[in-house]
Amino acid sequence: MADYEDKLLDHDLDGIREYDNPLPGWLMGILWGALIFSILYLGYYALSFGTDDGVAEYRADTIAQRAEVQAYFDKNPLEPPAAEDLLGGAKTAEIIAKGKERFIKTCASCHGEAAQGLIGPNLTDDRWLHGGQVLQIFNTIAKGVPAKGMPPWGRALPPDELAALVSFIRSIQGSTPPDPKPPEGVAVLPEPLP
């Protein structure tokens, strides 16, 4: 370790003086290493002069994920319940409670505690990105939307919980949660409850 002579700078503030000593070598090494790394990183990723390697890789991964999900459902077909059962469940307190519990565990992080929409869309309005009929909602939840970051819950949840989740979502359509996300998608008239 090198010895440095303490050198006081000429200025002071309220009698407080400042030393002018060099930074330790290890800290300068980290600083210069980070600076060189950031320049190389910027040069490689941001200034790739029009190459779409990252975009092409993302698209290929998305296509592969969709194919994987479809292959799973081809081997393990998931029969959705009848629309009447899903709509009937939207009026049954026990099914709604089960669906709400599942919603809080798996969906609230993206759609919000009151389904008002966060990074995912608002589920309480009449606008839908992937179909707003109960069977379409069931299929969207079961198969997911990999391009938008929504996982296929049909591989992780039992069919009765999926059905309860759809019934819960149908039961809250038309509600007015606080601070809802603006409408996205196509307007769909909700199916009447029996």
The closest of 123, 121, 170, 142 to 69, measured between CA atoms, is 142
Q: Give the pLDDT confidence score for residue 32 in this predicted structure.
A: 97
Strands 186-187 and 127-128: antiparallel
**Residue 84 and residue 176 in one domain:** yes
Query: Do 20 and 96 reside in the same domain of the chain?
Result: no
DSSP 76-112: S--PPPPHHHHHHHTT-HHHHHHHHHHHHHHTHHHH-
Contact 193/90 with Cβ under 8 angstroms?
yes
Residue 114 CB partners (closer than 8 Å, separation 6+)? 124, 172, 175, 177, 178
In DSSP terms, which residues pair with 17 in a beta bridge?
A: 12
Token output for 159: 């069919």
Clarify whether residues 41 and 80 are in a common domain.
no
Residue pLDDT, tens place only, 106-162:
999 999 999 999 999 999 999 999 988 999 999 999 888 888 889 889 888 888 899
Q: Is 155 exposed, middle or buried (0-12, 13-18, 19+ CB in 10 A)?
A: middle
* Total structural domains within the chain: 2
Instruction: Between 102 and 79, name the one with better pLDDT.
Output: 102
Q: What is the pLDDT of residues 3-32, one digit of tens each?
A: 667 777 788 888 888 888 888 999 999 999
Task: Specify the DSSP class assigned to residue 150.
Answer: B
In whole angstroms, what separates CA 121 from the centre of its chain? 11
Say which CATH number the domain at 93 has.
Answer: 1.10.760.10
Is residue 122 within 8 A of residue 116, CB to CB? The reply is: yes
Say yes or no: 109 and 151 in one domain: yes
